[in-house]
A = this chain, B = another copy of it.
Amino acid sequence: MDESGFCPIYEAINLLQEKWVLHIVRALLGGEMGFNQLARAVGGVNPATLSQRLERLVALGVVEKEVLQVMPPRTRYRLTRAGRELETVIEAIEAWGKKYLKPAPDPRT
């Protein structure tokens, strides 16, 4: 924490614990996407929530949004350099999940 009370680790955790944010980052690590494609890749998020999360990620400089001047206008989302560096977090989560999370036992067996 610095003298203003700002703790970058606390703030980073607050960002990444917002529902869907890690899923959005993981999806965009695979490459830029349009809104509908991203909604499908994330799976289960409603469009209003996805819009709100993307706006926040754009404001924080994690995602950039490009509006293509075609008819009808199309939007592309991609990670900034800061966003791409979240790959280290996703990779750590991936390694941990593969090692420690197992499917719940099938209740039919």
Whole-angstrom CA separation of A28 from B96 in the bound complex:
17
Interface string of A11-23 (1 = CB under 8 A from B): 1110111111111
Residues of chain A at the chain B interface (Cβ within 8 Å)? 2, 4, 6, 8-13, 15-23, 26, 60-62, 82, 85-86, 88-103, 106
Whole-angstrom CA separation of A11 from B100 in the bound complex:
11
Asked whether A96 and B101 contact (CB < 8 A) given A13-B22, A17-B20, A22-B17, the answer is: no
A-B contact pairs, 9 of them (CB 8 A): A4-B103, A9-B26, A9-B93, A9-B94, A17-B20, A17-B21, A60-B101, A82-B99, A86-B96
Known: A9-B94, A89-B92. 5 other contacts (CB 8 A): A9-B26, A9-B93, A9-B98, A16-B16, A85-B100
